Structure 1
Amino acid sequence: MKILFTICGRAGSKGIKNKNLRDFLGKPLAYYTVSAIDLYLKQHNDLEYDIVINSDSDKLREMMDKNPMRKVELIERNSSLGGDTVGKVDVIFNCLEIMEARKKCKYGMVVDLDITSPLRRVQDIARVITTHQETGADVTTTVATARRNPYFNQVKKVEHGYKKVIDSNFTARQQAPEIFDMNASIYAYKPEFLSSGKGVLEGYVECVEMYDTGILDLDHINDMELMQIIAKYLFDNEEEFAEVYKNI
């Protein structure tokens, strides 16, 4: 089976200006994703693969082309896929179509890794790929245990005051169904599912749980600052996180 690893990044950002081009603890943020893929492939020398970056940013494509770890194929994103309302699945499918035509091959799996998730471990990638293969899921993605539960301690505004997001009689969190946050770090897709036009959660989905406090959404400059504080601690104390940093 041949795997296509996709990395998708737009130019600019509304929350953090040019966040895909920024440094993270002194190293390019985008290189953390390539480093994690590189370390996974070093553990699987017999795996057939390609890595591709799809972006409308000339600077990001140039940066990835010059990365010191693995060859990354370049795709200049079509302007029709650059708007705020375009789903990432459409971009990933575009990667698949272009790369199958370019390499004259068929991929058995597409694995997408988000640039803004620098705190992933090699074992996270391995678990997603293994789970995807073993279950036959349409999509396998990563999650973290939610710190709040809509059955118990989340509320929504209604016409008169507030009420639980989901009506229930649970008096303890442990009684409520287990809830997870999607952390948008790693996704594995069946190629045929990508071509179906369905949304990420519209097929058979499996999940792999990741280390929770290591994953934040980089939507505001404060998020970047906080994540770097967490990252520094993890790199100093947890070798599974540190190896990705050291490998760049």
Structure 2
Amino acid sequence: MKKRVIITICGRAGSKGLENKNLLDFCGRPLVYYTLSAAELFTKARPDLEIDLVLNTDSPHLKELVLAKYPEAIALHRPPKLAGDDVAKLRVFQQSVREMEERHGKLYDYHLDLDITSPLRRLEDVQGCFEALEAREDLDLVMSAVESRRNPFMNVAVRRYDHVEPAVPSHFVARQQAPACYDLNASIYAFRRDFLARNTSGMLWDGKCDVFEMLDTAVLDIDSREDFELMELIAWHIYESRPQYAAVRDNIRQ
């Protein structure tokens, strides 16, 4: 029997940083289509899985944009209580899985989330993150990440009233001595469904986690027009020099 996977693509209406960033064109194509293309490539690469593609949004414009080219996507409405700035994204994942299971009368084995604002990901990144979870029964989730440019054991400080202190106190005197640390880039999350079902805190760290490393420069936090334009410049360079990234762009439906 095939394992069941739900892939979610989640996007709110508007944005506190860059207005309506989920609806923007990126390098000449709708930003969300890059993530839809990656999901499609993963689905084709894993015919052994039963995969449902879900768009979770409160934006009618994003829904229209997605369904225009990817009509197989199942659109779920995000209720107002899950659309605020302070809502844990885990709650949106849980709503998506629960609603799909109730609607279709089946249980999933895995949940895979692909972030709209991370257009630079390879099929190999999606596969690698998912397969890292598949391979280890002891893990609850695997998250995409890059090695931290700043190590909290060495060169990250936190303010304490009238002074600053090391974020993580240690006796290391060289960066090479400190443990490897990672920046979680939010591009890909792979969950076991049962972890989502039992999680009541909304905290990822209540599960046993691991990371899958991606290319450092492939993901930026897009919170302003300047961030977006810088990401486009990086993308043009990566598409020219790394064909696996260009393959996702070239797979976008016309």
Q: TM-score, normalised by structure 1?
A: 0.96
Partner residue in 2 for 1:163: 165
Look up the SS of the partner of 1:30 in the other structure.
helix
Q: Partner amino acid for 2:90?
A: V
| Mapping for residues 50-61 of structure 1, pairs under 5 Å | 50-61=52-63
Q: How does 1:75-94 map to 2 (within 5 A)?
A: 75-94=76-95
Q: Is the 8 A contact 2:122 2:244 kept in 1?
A: yes
Residue identity matched to 1:119 = L
Q: Does the 8 Å CA contact 2:4/2:110 hold for their aligned counterparts?
A: yes
1:13 deviates by 0.3
On the 8 A contact 2:109/2:194 being kept in 1, the answer is no
* Alignment correspondent of 1:29: 31
| Paired position in structure 2 for 1:135 | 136
Q: Report the residue type matching 1:71 in the other structure.
A: E
User: C-alpha deviations, 1:35-91, integer Å up to 9, x for none?
Assistant: 0111112222232110000100000011111125x6100111112211112111111
Moved more, 164-173 or 138-147: 164-173
State the Cα distance separating 1:217 from its structure 2 match: 0.8
- Cα deviation for residue 14 of structure 1 reads 1.1
| Gap regions ≥5 residues in structure 2 | none
1:184 & 1:103 partners in 2: Cα distance? 28
The worse-fitting range, judged by mean Cα deviation, of 40-49 and 90-99 is: 40-49
CA distance in 2 between counterparts of 1:126 and 1:216 reads 21
The reply to whether residue 10 of structure 1 matches residue 24 of structure 2 is: no
SS of 1:235's partner is: helix
1:205 aligns with 2:209: yes
The whole-number CA distance in structure 2 between the counterparts of 1:165 and 1:190 is: 31
Question: What is the alpha-carbon distance in structure 1 between the residues aligned to residue 94 and residue 247 of structure 2?
Answer: 31
CA distance in 2, matches of 1:2, 1:41: 12
**C-alpha root-mean-square deviation of aligned residues, in Å?**
1.3
SS in 1 for 2:205: coil
Amino acid at match of 1:201: W
- Residue among 220, 229, 232 paired with 1:228: 232
Match of 1:135, SS state, is coil
Cα distance in structure 1, aligned partners of 2:27 and 2:13: 21
In structure 2, what is the Cα distance between the partners aligned to 1:195 and 1:214?
Answer: 31
SS in 2 for 1:177: coil
Residue 176 of structure 2 corresponds to which residue in structure 1? 174
User: Which residue pairs with 1:43 in the alignment?
Assistant: 45
Q: C-alpha distance in 2, partners of 1:246/1:230? A: 17
Q: Deviations over 1:107-163 (max 9, x none)?
A: 110101111111111111111111111112111111100000111112223344333
Task: Write the deviation string for residues 157-204 of structure 1: whole angstroms up to 9, x where unpaired.
Answer: 334433322222222100111110000011111112112224111111
Residue ranges of structure 1 left out of the alignment (5+ in a row) = none
